[in-house]
Amino acid sequence: MPLLSCSEISLDLGGRRILEGVSLDVEQAEVVGLAGPNGAGKTSLFEVLSGRQLRHTGDVTFNGEVVTKLPMRLRAQRGLMRTYQRPIVPAGLTVAETLKAARKAYRPYPSRLRMEWAMDFVQMRAPLNTPTGSLETLERRKLMLACLLLRDPKILLLDEPASGLTGSEIDEIDLVVRRLAQEYGVAVLLIEHRLELLAMVASRVLVLDVGQVIAAGHPERVFLEPEVRAAYFDVPMTAGGAA
Ligand SMILES: Nc1ncnc2c1ncn2[C@@H]1O[C@H](COP(=O)(O)OP(=O)(O)OP(=O)(O)O)[C@@H](O)[C@H]1O
Ligand SMILES: [Mg+2]
């Protein structure tokens, strides 16, 4: 049984169809990529899977339980957690205060050891007394990830964790994602455009376009599909399928 699955998800917002019949499965400890051009509906799908958006049709199942009607907080309690495209950290707090607030929000209260493990796992370099507002993008992302790791996630939905990062910073995120899956058995659904990153971490990639899954498969192959190239680059397809 897959850890997370959704079937035939459709979502209308502002009188427009945003998602149309989207189905996917993620197995335990699997890293699955979610790609697709801007506005394809990737973040909207995360809203649905995480429980932030409940006004859709179709079902979401997590760890053997239908969670379609369950709000985000209760899904997170069960181990289904997400990050946001923009790494917004609480203003006016230091790194230590942010972690403390995150610890206090959870029951059972995560141990101090767990907090130190999470910080070490993401290789947070900024000192604990750094105001979160002055953190660079990578450190913000690491801090948000550390806050989630306190809660023992079974799956993380990561919304473009590598965007705005330099090459060596992307390598760090890549390593964190791989270690999550390989060493701790945490599944990851990863929104990402870069083939080279997806090829490093993901066993499969789904490509969305205009709210629908248009391709699925191995990262190296999926980006060669004419329909995917057409969606990304608006390249007209020939009758023979070559773009
Ligand atoms: N609350 C909303 N009301 C109306 N339309 C919305 C709403 N949220 C998203 N949309 C529209 O839904 C479509 C999909 O948006 P979404 O943010 O899911 O795309 P995305 O694939 O994550 O894009 P990007 O790569 O730019 O992050 C877009 O056309 C967007 O304008
Ligand atoms: Mg998005």
| Per-residue pLDDT at 210 | 96
Q: Residue 80: beta bridge partners?
A: 155
On whether both 165 and 209 belong to a single domain, the answer is: yes
Picking from 127, 152, 177, the residue at the C-terminal end of a domain is 152
The first and second tokens of residue 46, run together, are 């995360």
The first and second tokens of residue 227, run together, are 């329909």
Long-range Cβ pairs for the range 217-221 (8 Å, 24+) = 219/33, 219/195, 220/195
The first and second tokens of residue 100, run together, are 């403390």
Picking from 126, 152, 178, the residue at the C-terminal end of a domain is 152
Cα distance between residue 122 and residue 119, in whole Å:
6
70 Cβ partners below 8 Å, 6+ apart? 51
Ligand 1 atom nearest the C-alpha of 18 is 12
105: Cα within 13 Å, side-chain hemisphere = 13
User: How far does the centroid of ligand 1 lie from the alpha carbon of residue 209, in Å?
Assistant: 11
Q: Is residue 14 part of a domain?
A: yes
Per-residue pLDDT of the chain (243 residues; tens, 9 = 90+): 999 999 999 999 999 999 999 999 999 999 999 999 999 999 999 999 999 999 999 999 999 999 999 999 999 999 999 999 887 777 889 999 999 998 888 878 888 899 999 999 999 999 999 999 999 999 999 999 999 999 999 999 999 999 999 999 999 999 999 999 999 999 999 999 888 889 889 999 999 999 999 999 999 899 899 999 999 887 655 544 443
Nearest ligand to the C-alpha atom of residue 11 = 1
Picking from 117, 137, 152, the residue at the C-terminal end of a domain is 152
> pTM value?
0.93
User: How far does the centroid of ligand 2 lie from the alpha carbon of residue 34, in Å?
Assistant: 10
Range of the domain at 15: 1-79+153-243
CA nearest ligand 1 atom 6, residue = 13
CB atoms within 10 A of CB 68: 18
Please give all residues whose beta carbon lies within 6 A of any atom in ligand 1, as ranges. 13-14, 18, 36, 38-44, 85
Q: In total, how many domains does the chain have?
A: 2
Residue of 12, 13, 22, 207 with the most ligand 1 atoms within 8 Å of its CB, for mutation? 13
Q: Is residue 84 part of a domain?
A: no
Nearest ligand to the C-alpha atom of residue 19 = 1
User: How far does the centroid of ligand 2 lie from the alpha carbon of residue 46, in Å?
Assistant: 9
Residue of 43, 50, 85, 191 with the most ligand 1 atoms within 8 Å of its CB, for mutation? 43
| Per-residue pLDDT at 241 | 42
